[in-house]
Amino acid sequence: MPAPNIDTIVSLAKRRGFVFPSSEVYGGLGSAWDYGPLGVELCNNVKQSWWRWLVYERDDIEGIDSSIILNRLVWQYSGHEATFHDPLVDCRECKSRMRADKLEGYFPEGDQRAEFDANARIRAGLVKCAECGSTNLTDERHFNMMFRTMLGAAADENDPSALAYLRPETAQGIFINFLNVQTTMRRKIPFGIAQVGKSFRNEITPGNFILRTREFEQMEMEYFVKPDAEHLKLVDEWVELYVEWFKGLGIDAANLQLHEVPKEELAHYSKRTVDIMYRYFPERPEEERQWEELMGIAYRTDFDLRSHSSKPVDAEGNRINPDSTEDLSYFDETTKQRFYPHVIEPAAGVNRTVLAVLMDAYSEKTNDKGETRVILKLSPQLAPIKAAILPLAKNKPEIVGMAKAIKRSLQPVLRAVYDDTGGIGKLYARQDEIGTPMCITVDHQSLEDEAVTVRDRDTWEQERVKVSDLAEHLQKRLKPYPNPLPEPV
């Protein structure tokens, strides 16, 4: 049973230290969130799982960490300055500001979808405000979503030479480093470059908790292949691998769905994109409105490497990029051919993955007393805390001492905590709610037999384990890394 809605997770996340509204002491900041002690662990575990899966367990992917602020020309030649914008409208009745292309009636039905006049449709009253249903909307305006900043302490706000952007995707930092990585790591195509890090977009309608925010984290990988590779098939292969990865994180396949992005909605660089969608809105009665993008897998062609290269020319023979000092082409030693590699890009969001993982792990169980308890059935690899050591009597120094010693002995092997801030029932309930797979109770008997009770989060079953066997026992119970190893494509 996943969470019935996002609000259930918002409340659990705040109550238990996963995610807090940002800047709360000053009344908050719309759609900004801070990750608390458990949230940061969960995010780190998601990122580590991804990094290990791609960079360590495959032989064909390298990692990098590029700057957030890049030369402005990167965004000029990537096409983001000219095209990375959303259409914005205001409702004259309720004063809401919205993304026009998300509104009912914006796109015409069927074939006419590719070419249409959005403002003509708005003026004809065909497009409806999402808040109040009015059709009294302003014309759409295009709004670039990149955050601007000025470089230099004394830079003038209107000085174009000081203008820079916070990156809206991590991908461009990979493209501009393609040759650096390829040559230093002596890579042959096909190979990939992975990067995880923050991206920023001045979203018109951020919202739904950590689903859409202006500052977020991406896990992107650019996979470089030959120009004659089977690109569209490779997209499908990466989609399958990622679906398996999400399932390995504990997400139920029933809550995942694929969406072939229609041609007219493709980003400027994409020839094909398949989105993996998650059921973030199970409470919505219409099934088609329950889904939102978790990640996308795009075929970006050779668009980016070409755009950033010094040599390519247009139909008139003019260099398409007179500013670049490098040619990001690749020389194939076996065929003796030089070409711009084509790219398959799986681009995932850390925050959306975390939200999907939390929603899918949420469950409720009734205890003997008829009370409902929340259990967060997080996959052990993602659980912020792997084991909680709980003394049955906190006023008994021998029991407390033994519990603390067990905690210390486990710490180098796995993340363990000691907690004596309540009765045992309350302590179990708290650990269940934050997804701790194992609780270890030290009782009076432990002082005699050097054994402890190990309680399972999901079944509430208990077993007695010798302290000397505990670390090994827990490591077995926490299961090894569960993802299937994807074969290089």
- In the bound state with ligand GAP, the residue whose beta carbon lies nearer, of 223 and 418, is 223
- In the bound state with ligand GAP, the residue whose beta carbon lies nearer, of 212 and 455, is 212
Binding part of the chain for ligand GAP, among 65-73, 103-111, 245-253, 287-295 by CB under 6 A, reads 287-295
- In the bound state with ligand GAP, the residue whose beta carbon lies nearer, of 212 and 342, is 212
One-letter amino acid of 489? V
- In the bound state with ligand GAP, the residue whose beta carbon lies nearer, of 74 and 137, is 74
437: contact with ligand GAP by CB under 6 A? no
Judged by CB under 6 A, the residue of 10, 38, 98, 171 near ligand GAP is 171
Of all residues in the shown chain, the one whose CB is closest to ligand GAP is 349
Binding part of the chain for ligand GAP, among 61-69, 91-99, 210-218, 469-477 by CB under 6 A, reads 210-218
Nearest distance in Å: CB 295, ligand GAP: 4
- In the bound state with ligand GAP, the residue whose beta carbon lies nearer, of 72 and 352, is 352
Binding part of the chain for ligand GAP, among 112-120, 211-219, 362-370, 384-392 by CB under 6 A, reads 211-219
User: Residues 348, 355: contact at Cβ < 8 Å?
Assistant: no
Binding part of the chain for ligand GAP, among 53-61, 291-299, 305-313, 471-479 by CB under 6 A, reads 291-299
169: contact with ligand GAP by CB under 6 A? yes
38: contact with ligand GAP by CB under 6 A? no
176: contact with ligand GAP by CB under 6 A? no
Site map (CB under 6 A) of ligand GAP, residues 183-202, x = contact: ------------------x-
* Residue 17 CA neighbour count, 13 Å, CB half: 11
Judged by CB under 6 A, the residue of 139, 203, 420, 433 near ligand GAP is 203
Binding part of the chain for ligand GAP, among 131-139, 294-302, 325-333, 356-364 by CB under 6 A, reads 294-302
Nearest distance in Å: CB 48, ligand GAP: 18
Nearest distance in Å: CB 406, ligand GAP: 40
Nearest distance in Å: CB 46, ligand GAP: 12
Judged by CB under 6 A, the residue of 66, 135, 218, 381 near ligand GAP is 218
Residue 375 — φ and ψ, nearest 5°? Answer: -125, 125
State which of positions 301-360 bind ligand GAP (CB under 6 A). 345, 347-349, 351-352
296: contact with ligand GAP by CB under 6 A? yes
3-state SS track over the chain: CCCCCHHHHHHHHHHCCCEEECCHHHCCCCCCEEECHHHHHHHHHHHHHHHHHHHHCCCCEEECCCCCECCHHHHHHCCHHHHCEEEEEEECCCCCEEEHHHCCCCCCCHHHHCCCCHHHHHHCCCCCCCCCCCCCECCCEEEECCCEEECCCCCCCCCHHHEEEECCCCHHHHHCCHHHHHHHCCCCCCEEEEEEEEEECCCCCCECCCCECCEEEEEEEEEEECCCCCHHHHHHHHHHHHHHHHHHCCCCHHHEEEEECCHHHCCCCCCEEEEEEECCCCCCCCHHHCCEEEEEEEEEECHHHHHCCCCCECCCCCECCCCCCCCCCEEECCCCEEECCEEEEEEEEHHHHHHHHHHHHEEEEECCCCCEEEEECCCCCCCCCCEEEEECCCCCHHHHHHHHHHHHHHCCCCCEEECCCCCHHHHHHHHHHHCCCEEEEECHHHHHHCEEEEEECCCCCEEEEEHHHHHHHHHHHCCCCCCCCCCCC
Nearest distance in Å: CB 273, ligand GAP: 8
Binding part of the chain for ligand GAP, among 52-60, 212-220, 317-325, 425-433 by CB under 6 A, reads 212-220
212: contact with ligand GAP by CB under 6 A? yes
213: contact with ligand GAP by CB under 6 A? yes
Q: How many residues bind ligand GAP (CB under 6 A)?
A: 19
Nearest distance in Å: CB 244, ligand GAP: 18
Long-range contacts of residues 131-135, Cβ cutoff 8 Å, at least 24 apart: 131/91, 131/94, 131/96, 131/98, 132/91, 132/93, 132/94, 132/96, 134/91, 134/92, 134/93, 134/94, 135/105
Judged by CB under 6 A, the residue of 41, 292, 293, 304 near ligand GAP is 293
Residues interacting with ligand GAP, by CB under 6 A? 169, 171, 201, 203, 212-213, 216, 218, 220, 293-296, 345, 347-349, 351-352
